[in-house]
Structure 1
Amino acid sequence: MSDNLIERISTALESEYTLEGLVRQLLEMLELVTNMESTYLTRIEPDGSFQHILFARNSRSMQIPEGLSVPWGDTLCKRALDEGKRYTCDVANVWGDSQAAKALGITTYVSTPVTLADGSLYGTLCAASSEHRILSERSEQVLQLFAQLIAQQIQNEQLLQQLQQANAALTTASYTDELTGLPNRRAVFEQLPKLFSKARQDARFVLLAFADLDDFKQINDVYGHDAGDDFLCAIGQRLQSGARPDDIIGRVGGDEFVVAGIGPKESGMALQAAQAFKIRLSNLLTGEYQLHSSVINYAGPSIGVVAINPELTDHDQALREADAAMYLEKDRRRDHLPH
């Protein structure tokens, strides 16, 4: 039996990668070792308010239901911990006032705490029976071993979750412009192919705008770099406020921004939509900016907007065309400035 148990534990540790999978196997083994009707793992709320039955194995008449929640102060587990009495085969005489024990018909009870590496109490690993059962020293040792294995699995899953969260945060950071919170150049260059693919599937044009903030250097020189940073953030906020849900917005350079979205199906309408898109962006970004330390009346950026047939042009070429259109607009605006 001992060799078989060790082999089963080893197999469970190698084959189970989740807390539930491991616990269910250990509860089955615990039933065999203790000769109890019910074996179960509990979780105690951090504030000590309730105890929850997470996983249970019930092989005979007595049923410890999964999902059962009881006030922690009314549990046999708490009394056992407080009194240092982990096992009894005469619950009625030892804890006869326990309503939970009466309701569940528990006569024999044993538990051990599941304690994490930081010393915190996660819950308890328990076995119970409606009949008188004598618990051997070996069974108590197995119970404690299983509690340690469960604690180890809990900590492994917590660590994995922390690593996943950290990885997600790093991934988000690598695709986000630190100053404005907009998608950065890397994100835009990964999102655009998907947008073009969707436009091809729907037989629609893509509207792509490239905006360069004229006179941004002057804003930095006159008002200071903090004001310049505030201004870039305000630009980003305006772009986000004026965008459609599926539009791509990103900061792709120091004072350069890209906005792209799905356009109409027909060529003529797409060209009209591109012109309207340009006017809308220009109106959105032109005007007064109330910054933390300054008020800036901004004459607006140079914006190049193109309507692209994704069947004929890929996103790289589209960006080049939008960039070229932006420089033409910059030259046009410069020519119209008073000399």
Structure 2
Amino acid sequence: MDKQLEQLAQFVATANTVEGLTRPLLALLQRITGLESTYLTAIDETAGVQHILIANNSGSLLLPEDLTVPWQDTLCKRALESQQFVTEDVAACWGDSEAARQLGLKSYISVPVTNQDGTVFGTLCGASSLSVALGNMPHLPELLRLCADLISHQLSREHFAKQVAARANETELQLSRVRLVAKVSELCVAAQSLRLTVGQTAEFMLQSGLCSQAVAFELENDQFVAIDPAQQGWAAVVSHLQSELSLDSRRQSIIRLQNDDKTQQEFADYLQPEQTLFLLKVYSDVTAVAAIFIQAQPEATQLAENKPLLLSISNSLSLLARRLADHQALTQLNKQLEYLAQHDTLTTLPNRRYLFDELARQVARADRQQQSFFILFIDLDGFKAINDTYGHETGDEFLCEFAKRLRNVMRSGDFTARHGGDEFVMLCQCSAGNNTEQQAAQLVNRIRTATCGIFGLTDVTLEYAGPSVGLIQWQPGDSTDGDKLLSQADAVMYQDKQQRRKHA
């Protein structure tokens, strides 16, 4: 007995698994008892069956591993109920067992193996079709109980190890979720592009291991457009899956999609069986602007039950969408305000403020480049008479038409502004190396030709003789004072007005 105990101690010391401990124990029991087969079973009382998990066969009686038999007819059940775990004459003890009769069992041993909570896991058994003098082994019941206890202890160890591993996996999964939400939140705080952020979020979700597929989409009139063009084939899949939903379901942030046999058959190249499908939608106010399609890993069943994770991601992206939309609206409003601050509301030409800013820029640029340019001051002769005769509405319409004609004669690089009332200013480029006086004359003539003649307005047709025009040429070294330059051009315009009156 001492030798057997020493061997048992070695088995326990070296075994890391139930199988690693049980196989040498079964071999040892076979050598000690002389039984043809020793084996470990598991009992499933709910299903009413008993399975042979591990077997050691050395004679003509072969009990294969994975053999499953009805629990009600087994010798193990009879031994357990009668508490008789060793018998040399099976027929005398349990002659009503059909299984024992078919196998021709004569000698039999069985002892229960329990779980950590005391419930029966299975049995440690031995059987033989030959008669074996088991009664000559007084320590056999004690040895059987010891072996069963060792297996029970190893089962408990493995169960505890599995629990620890499961808790570790769950903890790691929770950490992965926390890290994922943190990464997405951090990304959304600094993001300037919803499109890029939704695409990166899909990549983060895929890298986290919580899903086997994550496809990012932009939504245009509820149409899915893949952010990655290579994934556009998924658009038809997701569109079909969403079309199967009610209208109210489509408006939710997190939508569970159907993955039935019909859908898998129709989209066999895309969808995998037994996977949970989600559609995560991103909203700007009440409008869905983006979405992420998620195909959950089969082993990540927690994801299917953890909508708060997806909802956190959806909320972060939706907050980003609203922030970017508000920023875009504010930027657009600022542009409109800036435009209104720099343009005349009637003619839409740049106003006096814009004129002085542009004049300063052109002076600085021309000075750096040692170039010159023309400044033209234009006054609408006879405009007061038009207003007095036809009214201010006609006068305003005339001003708009006049401004339009000035725009039509502008060349690339020219600038035209309404100085105020019936006065306009143009800043025009001067070609280097050519006769500047000839250029100036041609420019004035082009303006006069464009702005005189017939003006067909809504309520009246006018014959207009054209404006008075004053032109000066700015050259490097001249004054950089905008008011002074415009005063000089105004003075030349006044001279032109006097000459036109003499010849009128």
Matched ranges for 1:74-153 at <5 A: 74-79=239-244, 86=256, 91=259, 93=261, 95-99=263-267, 102-107=268-273, 108-114=275-281, 116=283, 118-128=285-295, 133-136=300-303, 139-153=306-320
Q: Which amino acid aligns with 2:394?
A: A
Matched ranges for 1:174-253 at <5 A: 174-253=341-420
Aligned 8 A contact 1:116 1:122 in 2? yes
Tell me by how many angstroms 1:285 deviates: 1.9
Tell me by how many angstroms 1:136 deviates: 4.2
Equivalent of 2:225 in 44, 47, 52: 52
Equivalent of 1:27 in 202, 216, 238: 202
Aligned 8 A contact 2:413 2:428 in 1? yes
Residue matched to 1:269: 435
Aligned 8 A contact 1:277 1:305 in 2? no
Residue matched to 2:452: 286
Distance 1:74 1:98 in 2: 13
Equivalent of 1:70 in 220, 235, 241: 235
Equivalent of 1:299 in 444, 465, 468: 465
Aligned 8 A contact 1:196 1:314 in 2? yes
Q: Which amino acid aligns with 1:219?
A: I
Distance 2:276 2:399 in 1: 66
Distance 1:288 1:321 in 2: 31
Tell me by how many angstroms 1:311 deviates: 3.6
TM-score, normalization: structure 1? Answer: 0.81
Distance 1:284 1:314 in 2: 30
Q: Quick check: 20-29 or 319-328, which moved more?
A: 20-29
Equivalent of 1:18 in 184, 190, 193: 193
Tell me by how many angstroms 1:69 deviates: 5.8
RMSD after superposition: 3.1
Is the aligned partner of 1:37 residue 2:212? Answer: yes
Q: Quick check: 150-159 or 68-77, which moved more?
A: 68-77
The answer for unaligned runs of 5 or more in structure 2 is 1-171, 250-254
Percent identity (aligned): 24
TM-score, normalization: structure 2? Answer: 0.57
The alpha-carbon distance between structure 1 residues 224 and 116, as it changes in their structure 2 partners (threshold 3 A), is same
Q: Which amino acid aligns with 1:119?
A: V
The alpha-carbon distance between structure 1 residues 192 and 134, as it changes in their structure 2 partners (threshold 3 A), is same
The alpha-carbon distance between structure 1 residues 117 and 309, as it changes in their structure 2 partners (threshold 3 A), is closer
Aligned 8 A contact 2:453 2:464 in 1? yes
The DSSP-based 3-state class of the residue aligned with 2:459 is: coil
Q: Which amino acid aligns with 1:104?
A: Y
The answer for unaligned runs of 5 or more in structure 1 is 56-63
Distance 1:333 1:65 in 2: 71
Distance 1:235 1:269 in 2: 29
The DSSP-based 3-state class of the residue aligned with 1:96 is: helix
Residue matched to 2:126: none
Q: Which amino acid aligns with 1:263?
A: C
Equivalent of 1:314 in 444, 464, 480: 480
The DSSP-based 3-state class of the residue aligned with 1:95 is: helix
Distance 2:402 2:183 in 1: 63
The DSSP-based 3-state class of the residue aligned with 1:313 is: coil
Larger CA Rg, structure 1 vs 2: 2
Tell me by how many angstroms 1:188 deviates: 1.5
Aligned 8 A contact 1:114 1:148 in 2? no
Q: Which amino acid aligns with 2:225?
A: H
Aligned 8 A contact 2:218 2:226 in 1? yes
Distance 2:304 2:212 in 1: 19
Distance 2:305 2:219 in 1: 26
1:4-51 CA-partner distances (Å, limit 9, x unpaired)? 5365455344444432554355435534666222223333331x4x42
1:43-98 CA-partner distances (Å, limit 9, x unpaired)? 3331x4x422236xxxxxxxx9444463477533444667977166xx36262343
The alpha-carbon distance between structure 1 residues 10 and 273, as it changes in their structure 2 partners (threshold 3 A), is closer
The alpha-carbon distance between structure 1 residues 210 and 283, as it changes in their structure 2 partners (threshold 3 A), is same
Q: Which amino acid aligns with 1:51?
A: F
